[in-house]
Structure 1
Amino acid sequence: MSSTDYRSNPENYCYRHPDRQSFVLCQRCLRTICPECQTQMPVGVICPECLAEQQRGAKATNVTRMPRGRRRSGTSDRPLVTYTLVALTSVMFLVGLIPGVGPFVEWLLAFNSVFVFPGANFQPWRLVTVTLVHAGIWHVALNMLALWALGRSLEPLLGRMRFLALYLLSALGGSVLVALLAPGTWVVGASGAVWGLLGAMFVIGRHLGANVTAIAVILGLNLVITFLPGSNISWQAHIGGGLVGLLVGFVFARTRAIRQQRAQLWLLVGIAVALLALLVIPAFVYA
């Protein structure tokens, strides 16, 4: 997402490190700060200057008495959520290679619309846990490579919880569209969630003034590959995840200010509720 176009908008950079892009604002002064400059508070983060001012003031007691485990001079810029998702998915794939265990893992976590119908087989968690199961080494390798590459850029930009919400909502969006348009089809993989990351990166990049041509090309190529004859790819999962990623990215881009954090949270909850509500359609039509 690097581009000289960013320099036209200095608000997209950390005020203490002008060469570092960020999407996170200090909850007190509303200036953009990079992960190194963020100090985690009970709600949101603050910059080093605001932290110092708060510690000097009469109300600094609440900060100085925070448990040691929650006091940090700055959050790591390592995309820990991304690494955790990659590690967890890879471990699940390796477990699935154990003789006699693979079919059970796929049965436990793979998604089929039958599991969204209330009844004896009602297992709604499969809407998201489908991301943990893959059809082969190349399937999991390509998905995890994409997740690692996209996550290293997006997670520091959005923050860990926003990034995780984006990933999960995109996975949910992919599963919902499969349930709507391809009922009874078994699907596996994190492709829907990865498409959501691509969609969000495109929208956020456009909002920040970046050159998103490369992202658009990648989306276009993946779209063509998705519809190739004999590809055995669930285009419903890809399109569903991508559309939700575009929507969540738009929400993040339009609710950056601290005063909009509550609105941002409710919008994300609304997206999740709306996606789950759509499952009423296959439950009645195909049950």
Structure 2
Amino acid sequence: MSDARDPNNYCYRHPDRESYILCQRCGRTICPECQTQAAVGVHCPECVAEARARMPKRKPAIVTAFRRSSTKPVVTYSIIVLNAIVFALQFLLGDFVFQNFAYAPFLTASEPWRMITSAFLHSETSIFHILFNMYALFIFGPQLEQMLGRGRFIALYLLSAFGGSVAVLLLGDPTGGVIGASGAIFGLFGAFFMIQRKLGGNTIQLVILIALNLVLGFIIPNVSWQGHVGGLVVGLAVSYVYLQTRSPAQRRWQIGGVVAIAAALVAITLIAA
């Protein structure tokens, strides 16, 4: 008697398992364990693996967000996260962060980087210091970043922070330490005011907000009104350059204008230090 067993009626991966189900793509017989449900019929493991290999690779959302074509305000959110990390480190490392990164005018000549790093530190005794600054950044940052672009927004933020420190150097207590992103935030206020005014928007509420916070800087103790004023002035200046050189053909003039503002701040620092 001959063996009538047909190999086509057995799973190609498990020859001892009889089956009558075929892979929809390659036509091989597969048992229930080897079947993967597809839109039509089932697929075998090899066909599933091949299909997955051909699928376009999707990058994580955090990676695509940093693409130039992305409209997500990644710079704003990155600055907020950085400030939060530094704030946590202030508690974890004690006075180390303040002692090494806070700014005081008498340290300008020996440790000038503090004029920028101090903008990422906040008071450990009042949570409202960082909360107000980061809330203001969260409100105004995304709009400005979208209007200006990431590079211009970074330049505006850092130069405003620098401008705040320069004002402290000129007008503040030479031995007093200052920290906080307020100078950079006031720079954003100034830029937003200039852009709104140029576009014909209503700036009354913004003017009231700026004036109120400037006045509070004079009334509330341990608040650096000098940093507020310096950041505001630089923010107005940088945004003025942006508005006067909006055409792509004026890009060199725009870069030159921003560099000139930075150079002026450096020159003032060198003279006053």
TM-score in same-fold range (> 0.5): yes
Work out the CA distance in 1 between the residues paired with 2:156 and 2:121.
19
Which is worse superposed, 205-214 or 265-274? 205-214
State which of 231, 249, 252 in structure 1 corresponds to 2:239: 249
Residue 208 of structure 1 and its aligned partner are, at CA, apart by 1.3
Work out the CA distance in 2 between the residues paired with 1:234 and 1:205.
27
Q: How does 1:190-209 map to 2 (within 5 A)?
A: 190-209=181-200
In structure 2, the residue corresponding to 1:227 is in which secondary structure?
helix
1:169 partnered with 2:159: yes
1:81 partnered with 2:75: yes
1:273 partnered with 2:263: yes
In structure 2, the residue corresponding to 1:124 is in which secondary structure?
coil
1:126 partnered with 2:114: yes
RMSD, matched Cα: 1.7
State which of 91, 94, 104 in structure 2 corresponds to 1:112: 104
Residue 204 of structure 1 and its aligned partner are, at CA, apart by 1.1
Report the CA distance shift for 1:73/1:243 in structure 2 as closer, same or farther (over 3 A): closer
Equivalent residue for 2:39? none
For structure 1, the residue ranges without an aligned partner over 5 or more in a row are 1-68
Work out the CA distance in 2 between the residues paired with 1:248 and 1:184.
29
Residue 102 of structure 1 and its aligned partner are, at CA, apart by 2.4
Work out the CA distance in 1 between the residues paired with 2:200 and 2:222.
36
Paired amino acid for 1:125: W
Runs of 4+ in structure 1 over 6 Å off? none
Paired amino acid for 2:84: S
Work out the CA distance in 2 between the residues paired with 1:219 and 1:145.
15
Residue 141 of structure 1 and its aligned partner are, at CA, apart by 1.1
State which of 210, 215, 227 in structure 1 corresponds to 2:218: 227
Work out the CA distance in 2 between the residues paired with 1:225 and 1:74.
39
- The higher radius of gyration belongs to 2
Equivalent residue for 1:260? 250
Work out the CA distance in 2 between the residues paired with 1:212 and 1:195.
15
Work out the CA distance in 2 between the residues paired with 1:112 and 1:91.
22
Residue 231 of structure 1 and its aligned partner are, at CA, apart by 2.7
1:185 partnered with 2:176: yes
Report the CA distance shift for 1:184/1:257 in structure 2 as closer, same or farther (over 3 A): same
Work out the CA distance in 2 between the residues paired with 1:172 and 1:73.
28
Work out the CA distance in 2 between the residues paired with 1:198 and 1:244.
11
Equivalent residue for 1:92? 86
Residue 172 of structure 1 and its aligned partner are, at CA, apart by 0.4
Paired amino acid for 1:126: R
Cα contact 1:88–1:132 (8 A) shared by 2? yes
Residue 280 of structure 1 and its aligned partner are, at CA, apart by 2.7
Work out the CA distance in 2 between the residues paired with 1:231 and 1:212.
29
Equivalent pairs: percent with the same residue?
A: 44
1:216 partnered with 2:210: no
In structure 1, the residue corresponding to 2:116 is in which secondary structure?
helix
Report the CA distance shift for 1:188/1:73 in structure 2 as closer, same or farther (over 3 A): closer
Report the CA distance shift for 1:81/1:124 in structure 2 as closer, same or farther (over 3 A): same
Residue 278 of structure 1 and its aligned partner are, at CA, apart by 0.5
Cα contact 1:200–1:249 (8 A) shared by 2? yes
Work out the CA distance in 2 between the residues paired with 1:282 and 1:102.
31
Cα contact 1:225–1:231 (8 A) shared by 2? no
Work out the CA distance in 2 between the residues paired with 1:132 and 1:227.
22
Residue 223 of structure 1 and its aligned partner are, at CA, apart by 1.3
TM-superposition CA deviations, 1:55-105 (whole Å, max 9, x none)? xxxxxxxxxxxxxx99x997221110000000001000011111xx12000
For structure 2, the residue ranges without an aligned partner over 5 or more in a row are 1-62
TM-score (norm 2): 0.73
Cα contact 1:116–1:123 (8 A) shared by 2? yes
Would you say how many aligned residue pairs link Structure 1 and Structure 2?
A: 207
Work out the CA distance in 2 between the residues paired with 1:281 and 1:262.
28
